[in-house]
Amino acid sequence: MSTHSLIRFSRHTLRQLKFVLPGGLLTYYFDSHNVFLRIWGGDAGKHGWGGFAARLSILSAAVTLSLFLYVLALPLIQGEQPNYRHWRQSGVLSRVIPIMTASIVAGWSLLSYTLGRWSNLGYMGGVLAASGLYALAFGSMGLLPAPRVQRQ
């Protein structure tokens, strides 16, 4: 591993840690993962809607994660490196990225509402807790290395 790639790796890691650290701190402070699991399990007192909303937010997160991993795997699937900067001109990326964006917005909104409505966090606490979980998740996903395909 050359010094240049080590420096680039370190800069990339530091950029992702700007999301991981605050997200982890917010998640720890609000105990949002445990609050979410209690809502999921029906301990929120409202059997049905709280758990249903929690499951929908997990479904949205699963769609987001699947599409993100698909975008990461595109170089291996297609055999060439996609141009992420000009994603609107790419046939695959122009379809996947808007769906992924919509699932991120829907999932975060639903998680914020779920945590605010069916816990003692309140709506502002729900927004902060959901933001912390999303920052932690996206910062962690950003640490995954993207596969490189040699251009021919």
Tens of pLDDT, residues 15-25: 888 999 999 99
pTM: 0.85
b/e per residue, 69-89, with b = 16+ CB within 10 A?
A: eebeebbeeeeeebeeeebee
Separation between Cα atoms, residue 63 and residue 69, nearest integer Å: 10
Percentage of the chain exceeding pLDDT 70: 88
List the single range of 2-6, 15-19, 100-104, 137-141 with lowest mean pLDDT. Answer: 2-6
Tens of pLDDT, residues 79-93: 888 888 888 988 889
Nearest to 137 by CA among 72, 68, 78: 68
Tens of pLDDT, residues 3-48: 565 555 678 788 888 999 999 999 999 999 999 999 998 775 556 7
> At residue 111, does pLDDT exceed 80?
yes
Overall average pLDDT of the 142-149 stretch: 76
Residues counted in the chain: 152
Residue with tokens 């309140």: 122
> At residue 1, does pLDDT exceed 70?
no
